[in-house]
Structure 1
Amino acid sequence: MKATPARRRGPRDARGLRVLVTGASGTFGRAICARLTGLGAHVVGLDLTPRPDDPVEVLACDITDDGAATAVATAIDRLGGLDLLVNNAGVGGPAPAELPPGAEVRRQLDINLLGAWRVTAASVPALVASRGRIVMVSSRMAAMQLPLAAAYGASKRALVAYADALRLELGTHVGVTCVYPSAVRSPIHDATAAAGLSLEGMSSYEPLEGVVDTVLRAALGRRVRRDLPTTRRGAVEFFLARHLPSVTDRIIARTLAARARSGAFEGAELAAGVVGRHTETR
């Protein structure tokens, strides 16, 4: 009797994988590129400001410009095709929901959502040809919004909606996974902190390595996963935000109220409305 072949286990072999990573010179991007290269993948990055010590070749590219398609085409040509796109580029910043959307809001939407859309659209033919994968680095805030940062949460939630549409359109040929980091210490928080709107007490920081591990799990897993939080706590938060949103709303609202009353936003003009409503005499 002929033996049944053993079922393959473990991740796919990354050797020879042709990969494009956006935001490749940032905190997440450099770590993702270095890990994939170490596993034998061929990686090219895109970034607005490449650094001399980047671990891979990084092409200068402004993903808010429709001309970004040219840089994507160059990267794919150098790779000889494309097996994996990691949409990692992203920015944050202060943006209270009660205030009119200005330049900061438009900047975050253009980079976090439309930038990923531009790069993906330019990559679709090559990914379909290789039966490749797309990994979207989203955020816990795509499911569980935090206050005073409406643009970031809105852009990441919209990125997930875009990924859902891609999955429906390309799913016969291309796998699409969203990864949901919580908070990692990186320069993305600098603008919010500078505006006096730090949410330090509302998030627990997680290690960068866990985010990179999850991106690789999405990229190299035998089975394409739809959604992947990066920690056990993140998985619980993701579940609650999806299925019991009133619970997470109450927790966040109470934490915000405590911070506002404690003086955490003292002198922060953008938080004046929040502070006033929580400290007014009733």
Structure 2
Amino acid sequence: MSTHPRPRAALFGGRRDAHGLRVVVTGASGTFGRAICERLSGLGAVVIGLDLAPRPDDPVRVLPCDVTDDESVATAVRTALDTLGGLDVLINNAGTGGPAPAELPPGAEVRRQLDINLLGTWRVTAACVGALVASRGRVVMLASRMAVLQLPLAAAYGASKRALVAYADALRLEVGTHVGVTCLYPSAVRSPIHDSTAAAGLSLEGMSTYEPLDGVVDAVLRAVLSRRVHRDLATTRKGAVECFLARHLPSVTDRIVARTLAARARSGAFEGAGLAAGVVRRHTERP
């Protein structure tokens, strides 16, 4: 898995011209989406966003769209394609997270994450495939490092992102003759997506290292504008190493994550967090 080069000049060397590219970005009013839309439109791309709750200060036109609803997706995508006159790039950025321990039965939170992160992406992509085939365009999937390196107490997010990559792989096999499909693997970036996890007492602090938003946006631009279509892109060199280890030496990454989890459980980091009660008990009870 490759990473974005450090020098910004290297990032943009030999790139395609963004001017006039017709782009749709999902989750366009969120932290990632707004930054992606702003950067691409600043380079001359014609960008339309889709979001459940568009904001009046969005940097581009954003259409209301609930990616969990078939009709909403069909209507929003049709309007976007009619406005753009076709489509060159689809950036599947819409996503959500939240606490979901694997040891507990799947409930509404699990279904919500799967519906948005996996099926929502599937719905939007399917609605755009015809236009992308016609333009020989590209699809960029915002996956996650957790698609390959799972963290505890967040099983739904990791499962949805791993399934998203499987969907991207199948899509690539079916339409790869005409459409480039790239998966990106960002780590944690400070944004409201972590609020519900923190509120449940299951903060990522100590379990994951945050990375800058600009690096994620740079990686998106590389996926969109590089002349060569990338299959997979990490967003930092550290992320590339972590993904490599998780894929080729999974027992090593399992031990590292398990050791970190045990230390947090014993330190009282999950005190009062009911969803982590099982983890805390197993790590603190005496044999």
1:199, CA displacement in angstroms?
A: 1.9
- The 5-angstrom pairing of residues 90-129 of structure 1 reads 90-129=95-134
Tell me the residue number matched to 2:9.
none
- Map 1:7-46 to 2 at 5 A: 10-46=14-50
The reply on whether 1:86 has 2:91 as its aligned counterpart is yes
What amino acid maps onto 1:112 in structure 2? N
Q: CA separation in 2, counterparts of 1:167 and 1:24?
A: 24
Aligned to 2:53: 49
Q: Which residue matches 2:178? A: 173
Aligned length: 274
Alignment partner, residue 76 of structure 1: 81
* TM-score when normalising by structure 2: 0.95
Q: Distance in 2 between matches of 1:126 and 1:232?
A: 34
Distance 2:102 2:135 in 1: 42
TM-score, normalization: structure 1? 0.97
Deviation string 1:66-106 (CA, Å, 9 cap, x unpaired) is 11111111101101100000000000000000000000000
User: Quick one: distance in 2 between partners of 1:170 and 1:245?
Assistant: 31
Q: Paired residue for 2:254?
A: 249
Amino acid at match of 1:217: R
- Distance between the aligned counterparts of 2:77 and 2:90, measured in 1? 10
Task: Give the secondary-structure state (helix, strand or coil) at the position aligned to 1:200.
Answer: coil
Instruction: Tell me the secondary structure at the aligned position of residue 63 of structure 2.
Output: strand
Among candidates 211, 214, 218, match of residue 213 of structure 1: 218
- The residue number in structure 2 matching 1:3 is none
Q: Name which of 270, 275, 279 aligns with 2:280.
A: 275
3-state SS of 1:97 partner: coil
- For the residues of structure 1 that align with 2:14 and 2:211, how far apart are their CA atoms? 25
SS class of match (2:228): coil
Distance between the aligned counterparts of 2:283 and 2:68, measured in 1? Answer: 38
Matched, 1:200 2:205: yes
Partners of 1:202 and 1:10 in 2: how far apart? 37
Structure 1, unmatched stretches of 5+, are: 1-8
Unaligned runs of 5+ in 2: 1-12
- Determine helix, strand or coil for the equivalent of 2:181: strand
Deviation at 1:12, TM superposition (A): 0.3
> Any idea what SS the aligned residue of 2:49 has?
strand
Match of 1:138 in 2: 143
Percent of aligned pairs with the same residue?
84
Deviations 1:140-181 (A, max 9, x none): 000000000000000000000000000000000000000000
Residue identity opposite 1:21 in structure 2: V
Specify the structure having the higher radius of gyration (Cα).
1
Question: What root-mean-square deviation, in Å, do the aligned CA atoms of Structure 1 and Structure 2 show?
Answer: 0.5
C-alpha distance in 2 between matches for 1:222 and 1:114: 29
Determine which structure has greater relative contact order: mean sequence separation of CA pairs < 8 Å that are 6+ residues apart, divided by chain length.
2
Separation in structure 1 between the aligned mates of residue 68 and residue 173 of structure 2, nearest angstrom: 25
1:249 Cα deviation from its structure 2 partner = 0.3
Q: Which amino acid aligns with 1:26?
A: G
Separation of aligned partners in 2, 1:260 and 1:199: 13
- Give the distance between the partners of 1:281 and 1:244, measured in 2 at CA: 31
Letter paired with 1:12 = R
Counterparts of 1:69 and 1:104, CA distance in 2: 25
Task: Tell me the secondary structure at the aligned position of residue 136 of structure 1.
Answer: strand
User: In 1, Cα distance between the equivalents of 2:80 and 2:247?
Assistant: 37
Tell me the CA shift for residue 255 of structure 1: 0.1
Amino acid at match of 1:244: L
